[in-house]
Amino acid sequence: MTKKIETAVILVAGEGKRLRPFTNTNPKCFASVNGKRILDNALESFAAHGCREVRIVTGHLAGLVRDTITENFAGMTIRYINNPDYATTNSMFSLAMGLEGLDSGTWVLEGDVFFAPSILKLYPPPDIAWFVDSATRQLDGAYVEANRQNRALSLRIIRDLKLLQPNQHKSIGMLCLTHSGVRQLQNWLQHGIATGRQNDYYDLILGDHMHDAAIQIVDVAGHRWFEIDNYADLESAAKVFA
């Protein structure tokens, strides 16, 4: 049986330019869906699921995140890791910083995802579980192709939704890693940094290593979630979680 995951890494370093002017004075993760901030929803969900420590990788308005959330939230210890190069790097670099020195399994969450806590109850297979939604066809972004055994085969960033294939599933911006999975991903990210890929999505790094280790998908179809990039997304999320 897989050991219970009691740690989470949340990536909130980005500037959230498509949510300006709100993000001129607020981190993107402070945007609210029906009165609840995106970050608060994530933290409350992880706390209810038994997490004891959360690492928040900050960048844009890092001080405001730290001062608002503080070092304890719902009984969890909150650690802050600041990415000073947030304006010139991407999620792979922030994730590498968030995983540095971590010696346990962990959840990984992109900080613009509002999700139902029920998603965390889906049993993830070891060692690297990538949470996707096979029913979502209306959002562009990272899509994972998988076989019938739920093993991830390839990754594509799809902007033209007409190109979607039936076996491609939308990433929801969440991973679950065992201790071994953390070590594997740490190595992949460090290799990516060494080869100048600091400005890539971490999805692309995973996509390049699918033949090196088994990455399994966990399908959340039927569970509510929404990735928020702009004001239209906020309106859609409010309807989804009404």
CA 1 and chain centroid, separation: 24
pLDDT at 182 over 60: yes
Residue 2 confidence (pLDDT): 55
Q: Is the pLDDT of residue 1 over 50?
A: no
Residue 152's pLDDT is 94
Report the distance separating Cα 85 and Cα 18, nearest Å. 19
CA distances from residue 172 to 42, 52, 54, 137, 169 in whole angstroms, order as listed: 13, 23, 19, 12, 9
The pLDDT-based confidence of 127 (bands split at 50, 70, 90) is very high
In terms of pTM, does the model score above 0.85?
Answer: yes
DSSP letter string, 180-230? HHHHHHHHHHHHHHHTT-TTS-HHHHHHHTTTTS-EEEEE-TTS-EEE--S
Superfamily for the 7-240 domain: Spore Coat Polysaccharide Biosynthesis Protein SpsA; Chain A (3.90.550.10)
The yes-or-no verdict on residue 198 having pLDDT over 90 is yes
Residue 210: pLDDT above 90?
yes
126 pLDDT exceeds 90?
A: no
The per-residue pLDDT for 40 is: 98
191 has a pLDDT exceeding 50: yes
The predicted-structure confidence for 43-78, as pLDDT tens digits, reads as follows 999 999 999 999 999 999 999 999 999 999 999 999
Among 74, 56, 54, smallest CA distance to 66 is for 56
Provide the residue ranges of all domains of the chain, joining segments of one domain with +: 7-240
Question: Picking from 11-20, 99-108, 158-167, which range would have the lowest pLDDT averaged per residue?
Answer: 158-167
For the stretch 131-176, pLDDT in tens is 999 998 888 889 999 998 999 999 999 999 888 888 899 999 999 9
Letter string b/e over residues 30-64, b meaning 16 or more CB atoms within 10 A of that residue's CB: bbbbeeebbbbbbbbbbbebebebbbbbbbbbbee
Q: What is the DSSP letter of 88?
A: T
The mean pLDDT value for 3-17 works out to 94
Strand partners, 53: 7, 77
